[in-house]
Amino acid sequence: MLIYRIENAEGKGPYMSVGQGAFATEYHNKESGRPEPEYDFAPAKWEIAHKYKWVFGFSTLDQLSKWFNLKERKKLNELGFKVALYEAPVYEASSYQAMFYPQCAVKTGERTI
Query: Tens of pLDDT along 51-108?
Result: 999 999 999 999 999 999 999 999 999 999 999 999 999 999 999 999 999 999 999 9
Smallest CA-to-CA distance from 25 within 91, 87, 79, 76 is with 76
Q: What is the pTM of this model?
A: 0.93
The total number of structural domains in the chain stands at 1
- The whole domain housing 9 covers 2-111
Task: Say if residues 37 and 46 touch (Cβ distance below 8 Å).
Answer: yes
Residue-wise pLDDT tens digits, 10-59: 999 999 899 888 999 988 888 888 998 889 999 888 888 889 999 999 99
Give the H/E segment covering residue 100: strand 98-100
In Å, how far are 23, 82, 90, 111 from 28, measured between CA atoms?
11, 19, 25, 23
